Amino acid sequence: MIASLFSANGFAAAIDLCQGYDIKASCHASRQSLSGITQDWSVADGQWLVFSDMTNNASGGAVFLQQGAEFSLLPENETGMTLFANNTVTGEYNNGGAIFAKENSTLNLTDVIFSGNVAGGYGGAIYSSGTNDTGAVDLRVTNAMFRNNIANDGKGGAIYTINNDVYLSDVIFDNNQAYTSTSYSDGDGGAIDVTDNNSDSKHPSGYTIINNTAFTNNTAEGYGGAIYTNSATAPYLIDISVDDSYSQNGGVLVDENNSAAGYGDGPSTAAGGFMYLGLSEVTFDIADGKTLVIGNTENDGAVDSIAGTGLITKTGSGDLVLNADNNDFTGEMQIENGEVTLGRSNSLMNVGDTHCQDDPQDCYGLTIGSIDKYQNQAELKRWLHPTNLCALIDGLSEWHFKYRCWWQCYC
């Protein structure tokens, strides 16, 4: 997409430096450094605001925010665009190849492209850290693309965010990468790493909403090829949704070709090719008539896999299709509404192992239906062939997990 629009370097050289923040003609911006102040940019229809080709031996290649600064990039009407291209911060302890935000600084970005940005440490495109305060969303990104961004020795090939509330909607993450060269604690989250390290168990964890967003071709040398999430105490909450407005591809959103190596030589199911969740709770909320497909049955089963020990909940009456080998997900899964299809015959066989080890007397891993949502219809299918819940459960004697099914489950 970016290549079809223009060459970033050539375009940047052909336009003038920006004068002010109300952009009426395409321009190239200088590096911005804000401390405790607000800066709002507006880009007129058909114009481009460009932050490109900046190299710094400090965090924040193009934008640096601290002490609660507020930074927004918005179109004046509908078609004004912002580009962050080929910005680099060097040094393994410098973060945010394009944007660095700390100390509860906030970002509000709409109609933005991040391409080819590199961080020596965390957050190839964006690094954002906060304190999980109860205020506004710390990082809001709408109608955006993150492509070819790299965290060279850290986490979050495109985005690294810690102790924050995050909102991502109508975003494409493609071919972002998280590498590590010095530590087995890095290299997680090929596209995004969303974590919480607050040690106070009474403090609320962060919350991330990922809506109508596609993940393709992202890689991590560590864990979570597309998404890595974890928390120190209270579970981190993530909502991955496809809402009523999604109309591309007939309402079918496909995430595929994401992989994680787990510090090995190739894709690993235990590393979570699509997602690795530690102490986290992930909800897949798929609207009626919409479908989210994760993985491709023609790929190695480790590609686009889900691994970890957290909780996955399926809500919404739409369909969720899991086509990878998810046997290294040992947490709990609840299907409250809609349909979940397993595209491989041996997928999701160890769900519940973690819970059963902790409490063998009350042992289950898969819950289908909801006792307090009797109007819902929950269904689990396997091998992409129509198989109703009762027939499926009857045929699962070889499966390792224990399940519970409320009376209103689809049979």
Give pLDDT, residue 11: 52
Give just the sign of the alpha carbon dihedral 135, 65, 71, 215.
negative
In the structure, what pLDDT confidence band is assigned to residue 19 with cuts at 50, 70 and 90? Answer: very high
Give pLDDT, residue 5: 43
Average pLDDT over residues 372-382: 65
Per-residue pLDDT tens over the stretch 234-274? 788 999 999 999 999 999 999 999 999 999 999 999 999 99
**pTM value surpassing 0.85:** yes
Across the chain, what does the average pLDDT equal? 86
More confident of the two residues 372 and 110: 110
Strand order in 219-220's β-sheet? 55-56, 88-89, 118-119, 150-151, 177-178, 219-220, 259-260
Give pLDDT, residue 4: 38
Average pLDDT over residues 52-57: 97
In the structure, what pLDDT confidence band is assigned to residue 204 with cuts at 50, 70 and 90? Answer: low
Per-residue pLDDT tens over the stretch 265-303? 999 999 999 999 998 999 999 999 999 999 999 999 999
Average pLDDT over residues 193-210: 78
Average pLDDT over residues 364-381: 65
Average pLDDT over residues 29-51: 97
The fraction of the chain above a pLDDT of 90, given in percent, is: 66
